[in-house]
A and B are shown apart, each in its own frame.
Chain A
C-alpha cells in the first residue's frame, strides 16, 4: 500500500507544482503585497493597509453596494431558477426545447446584450412605454439608484439558464417512483416538493446558491459597460474599486481589498455550509 502511494507521487508532482506555482505562490505573494507599503523602500507595515482600505469611503461604498446587489441577486436567482426548473421538469412535450433555450443568454456576450437592454430601459423605451400604458409614470431607469433595476434584471436573465440546468439535472435524478408513491398516498404538489424534491436536491441547491453568490459578487462587467470606471454611486462595486486601484498600479490596495473581501466571502460560505449541513441532517 505504502509503495503504491510513493509510485503515485511522480504522477501528482506536475499537477502539484502547477498548483504551487500558479495558486499558492501568487496567493502568498498577494498577502505579502498587502502587508507592505508599496513605496520605494517597500517597508513591512503590518495591517496598516487593511486599516487604510477599510476606512476608505470608496471601498466601503463598493463593499456595501456589492453586498446589497448580491443580497438581491443571489436569492432571486436561486428562487427563480428553482421555480423555472420545476416547471420545465413538468413540461414534457416541449421540455427539451425550453431547456436548451434557457441557456442561450448565458452564452451571449454581455456587451451585445447590454445595447438591447439599454434601449429597452431608455426613458422613451419599451419598458417605460409599457408602464405608461398601465397608467404609471415613466422612470429614469438609467440614472441614480434606478439603474440597479436593469442591472439586476440583466444579471438574472443572463445567469438563470445555468442555474436551471443544474437544478434540472438534480430533479431528473430523483426516481419517478417516489412521486408515484406519494401521489398514491394523496400527497399534494407542495408536499411532494418539500418532502421529496427538496431533501433530494439539497446538495445541488446548495451548489446553485453558492454559484449565485459567487456570480453576484462578480457583478461588474455589466456595471462597467454602463458606467465605466466611475459609475453612479449606487452602482459602484468593489470590483470598480479594485479595478481602479489596479489602473493606478496600487497593488497594495488591490490585494488588501481582495483579501478583505475574500475573508468576508469565506465567512459567509462557511456559514452557508454550516446551515446546509444542519438542513441536510434535519431533512434526512
Chain B
C-alpha cells in the first residue's frame, strides 16, 4: 500500500515537472525566438538634427558600407556577422581633397584645384570612389571628372589611393555652360561584371543612364524612357524600374541587356494599389520582395499583385531597389537609418500591431527603432498616411485591424471619435498616466476624457504673428509697445513706415506679398475669433471693422509688393532692401522648434480685457478601443511617449529647462576656426584681393565671437520665451479652415476669399458666408 503511494507520488511529481517544463517552453519560446531584425544605424537621434545622413550604401560580402554626409561625414562598416560597426573618420581625407596646393589635386596644366567625391561603387570586393576636380579658369568655374580611387580603411581613418582602374570618360556627365562646366549629380549606381552603370538627371529632369567600362574607361549613354532606378539583375543584366504615368499608372520591372540595349519584361505593378519601394530579387526562388504601406511582401513567381506579407518595416527606402543578403535579409535604408529585416515569414514576431498615422510627428521613427529593438517578438506595421475620414467608418464597424491611430487634435475626425468615446482607455497603464501627468495642463486636457487618459500627445505646433526681439529693441520699441490686441497690431503696422525709415530692418520678409500678408493676418484673426468667441456671429460689427482694417492697411508704404509687382521686384532684391531683417513674421510657430530664431510670438486678443491666445494643434496618438492587442498597443504608446523628439519633449514638459547644444557644436566651431586660419594665411600671403579677404576674416571673427552664444539647438532664450508664451497656448479642437474649404462650398469660399483679398468683395460678404457655414456646422453638431 505504501509502495503504491510512493509510485503515485512519483508519477504525480513527474507529471508536475512535465507540465512545468511545457509551461516554461510555451512562455519563454516567443521571448527567445529571434526575428533577426536589427537596426544597423539610426542617424536621427531624436532632436530632428543629424550630423550625418546616409548618402550611399554598398554591400560587399557580409559587410555593409555606409557613406555618411553632413557636418561630420564619415564611412561606416557594419559587420553582419558580429553586428559591430566601425566608424572611419573622413576629416583628413576631406582636407586632402580640398587642399588646392596638393600636387595630386592640380590639373594637368598645373592649375590649383580641389577634388570632390561624385560617386561610390563596389567592384570585385573593393570599394571605389569617382572624383571630380574643380578649378577656376578666367574667373569661371570648371570641372572635370572620372578619376577612380580605391577606398582604404585603417586605424579609424578613411583614405583614397590610386588604383589600377583607368580614368573614366566623364565628358557625358559634364554640363557645358560655355564659360563654365559642372558635373551632374550622380543619383544611382550599380556594377554588373566590368560595367559600371551610373545615372544622373538631364536638363529636363529625365533620368539618364551612363554605362562605363571599368577596364577601358569608355562610356556610353543609353536612353531608357521613364527610367526610375536600377540594380544588378540576374544573367549579367541590369534590373531596371520604369514608371509609366498614364490613366492607370504602373511600374514596370525589366531586365535590361546592356550589350544589346534591349529590355525584357520582368514584372509589372499597378501603382494604384499603393506605391512600392525597396524592391529586391532572389534568383534561387524567383521571388521579388518589396515594401508597401509599412510591410515587406514576398512575391513568388514575380507576381507583385498577389504578394504575401512576410514582415514589417517602417523605414522609407531611398530608391526603388534595395540589396538583399544571402540569408534573406532586406537591407532597408533611407537618409535617416539602415535596418536589416528578415524576409522569412516563419521568423516573424508572434504579434503584429498596426499603426495608422494621419498626422506627422518627429518622434515616430524614434519610437519605432526603440520598440523593435526592445520588443523583437512584436512586429510593428506603420502604415502610410491615409484619408482620415475612413477612421470614423472603421470605428462604426468596430474594425480591429489598426491598433493605434495618430491624428491632429484640430481634425474634425478627432473631435468625432473623442466625443463618441472611440478611444481606448489608457488609464490602466501607469507609465502612460505618469508620462502624461507631467505635461502641461493643456496637453493633459486634450489627452483626457471624462477623467480617463485616452491619448498621448506627440507634437505641438501652430502659426502666429511674431516679432524679432533684436530688431524690436534696436528700433527703440519696449515691452509696453508689444501689441496684445489686433487693433494694437494694426496700429503698430501703421506707424512702422516712420519707425523703419533709414534702419537695417524692414516690416516683413521680402517675399511676402500684400495679398499674402493680408490673407495670413486675416486667417489668424478669424481663426482666433472662432476659438475665443465660439457662440458669436462673424458678422459682429467689431469683427467687420477689424476685417476692413486688415483689408485697408497700407502695405505699399511698408515696401510690400503685390503678387503682380513681385515678378519684377525679385530681380531687384538687393536694391529694394530684400536683405534687411524683418521685424515681423506672420507664420511663426508658437510651439518650440530647434530652429527657433530670435522671435517672440504674439498672443492676441480682440479687446484689452480679453485673455490673449496662441492657438496650436496637437498631434495625438490613441488606441483603437477594438484593438485585439491592447497590451502591445499600450506598450508602443509608452514607447512613443518616451521617445518624443527633443523640441516636443521640451514643449510639453515644463520642468525641462536645460539648454541643448547642437551635437556637432565643437566640430562646427573648429571648422570655423580652421577657415579663419586659412583666410588669415591667404591674407598674409597676399594672393587674393586683400580687401575681400579682410571683409571675410572680419565676418568670420564676428561670427565666431557670437558662436557660443547663438549656436544652440534649444537656447536658454528660446526656452525662456516658450515658457512665457506657454500660458497662452490653446489647443484647437476644430480646424476652422478645413471646415470652410472642406466640402462642396469650398470652391465658393475660395473664390470669395480671393475676391476679398483683391478688393472685389466686401468684408460683409465674406463674413456672412463664413457665418452661415461655420454657424450652421456648429449648430448641427457632430
Contact = CB atoms under 8 A, between A and B. Distances in A.
Interface of A: 37-41, 56-58, 224, 227-230, 232-233, 236, 241, 244-245, 247-251, 253
A249 B392 contact: yes
Contacts of A247: 743
20 contacts: A39-B421, A39-B422, A40-B395, A40-B625, A58-B779, A58-B780, A227-B745, A228-B743, A228-B745, A228-B748, A229-B744, A230-B743, A232-B772, A233-B772, A233-B776, A248-B780, A249-B392, A249-B396, A251-B396, A253-B781
Q: Is the interface of B mostly helix, strand, loop or mixed?
A: helix
B416 interface: yes
Contacts of B422: 39-40
B779 A248 contact: no
Given A58-B780, A230-B745, 13 more contacts: A39-B420, A40-B420, A40-B422, A41-B421, A228-B744, A228-B748, A229-B743, A229-B745, A244-B777, A249-B393, A249-B396, A250-B416, A253-B781
A245 B780 contact: yes
Interface string B421-443: 11100000000000000000000
Contacts of A233: 772, 776
Contacts of A39: 420-422
Q: What 10 A-B pairs are tightest by C-beta distance, nearest first? A: A228-B744, A40-B421, A228-B745, A39-B421, A249-B392, A39-B420, A58-B780, A230-B773, A58-B779, A230-B776
A38 B420 contact: yes
B420 to A, nearest CB: 5
Nearest to A52: B781
Contacts of A251: 396
B782 interface: yes
A57 B779 contact: yes
Interface string B43-83: 00000000000000000000000000000000000000000
Nearest to B422: A40
A226 B268 CA distance: 45
A250 B413 CA distance: 12
Contacts of A236: 776
A248 B416 CA distance: 8
Contacts of A37: 420
Contacts of B395: 40
Contacts of B743: 228-230, 247
A249 B748 CA distance: 24
Nearest to A247: B743
Given A230-B772, A230-B773, A249-B392, A244 B780 contact: yes
A29 to B, nearest CB: 13
A41 B422 CA distance: 9
Most buried by A among B423, B744, B773: B744
B777 A230 contact: yes
A250 B782 contact: yes
Contact of B416 (A228, A229, A244, A249): A249
B24 to A, nearest CB: 38
B421 A56 contact: no
Contacts of A56: 779-781
Contacts of B748: 228
A37 B782 CA distance: 12
Contacts of B625: 40
Interface size of B as a range: 20 to 34
B260 to A, nearest CB: 56
A249 B782 CA distance: 9
A249 B390 CA distance: 10
B744 A248 contact: no
Task: Specify which of A58, A232, A251 lies most central, judged by the most chain B CB atoms within 10 Å of its CB.
Answer: A58
Contacts of B779: 56-58
Contacts of A244: 777, 780
Centre residue among A57, A229, A232, A253 by max chain B CB count within 10 A: A229
Interface in B100-149: none
B756 to A, nearest CB: 17
Interface string B343-357: 000000000000000
Nearest to A236: B776
A248 B748 CA distance: 21
From A57, A230, A233, name the one whose CB has the most chain B CB atoms within 10 angstroms.
A230
B738 to A, nearest CB: 13
Contacts of A250: 416, 782
Which of the listed residues B392, B393, B421 has the most CB atoms from chain A within 10 Å of its own CB?
B421
Contacts of A229: 743-745
Nearest to B424: A40
Interface in B390-415: 392-393, 395-396, 412
Contacts of B773: 230
A61 to B, nearest CB: 8
A241 B780 CA distance: 7
A58 B782 contact: no
A191 B683 CA distance: 119
B413 to A, nearest CB: 9
Contacts of B412: 248
A250 B416 CA distance: 9
Contacts of B776: 58, 230, 233, 236
Nearest to B425: A40
A230 B744 CA distance: 9
Nearest to A40: B421
A38 B397 CA distance: 11
Contacts of A230: 743, 745, 772-773, 776-777
A44 to B, nearest CB: 15
Contact of A248 (B423, B745, B782): B782
A28 B421 CA distance: 25
A38 B392 CA distance: 11
A2 to B, nearest CB: 47
A233 B776 CA distance: 9
Contacts of A41: 421
A242 to B, nearest CB: 11
A56 B748 CA distance: 27
Contacts of B777: 230, 244
B778 to A, nearest CB: 9
A40 B625 CA distance: 8
Nearest to B393: A249
Contacts of B393: 249
A251 to B, nearest CB: 7
A37 B420 CA distance: 8
Contacts of B423: 40
Interface in B574-631: 625
Contacts of A232: 772
A56 B395 CA distance: 25
Contacts of A224: 744
A57 B393 CA distance: 26
A102 B396 CA distance: 46
A154 B776 CA distance: 25
A70 B730 CA distance: 46
Nearest to B744: A228
A230 B423 CA distance: 30
B255 to A, nearest CB: 48
A53 B612 CA distance: 35
Interface string B747-782: 010000000000000000000000011001101111
A232 B745 CA distance: 11
Contacts of A228: 743-745, 748
A40 B623 CA distance: 13
Nearest to B423: A40
| Most B-side CB within 10 Å, residue of A56, A250, A251 | A250
Nearest to A233: B772
Contacts of B782: 248, 250
Contacts of A249: 392-393, 396, 416
A283 B26 CA distance: 88
Nearest to A41: B421
Nearest to B626: A40
A251 B773 CA distance: 22
A186 B513 CA distance: 85
A247 B781 CA distance: 12
A85 B100 CA distance: 100
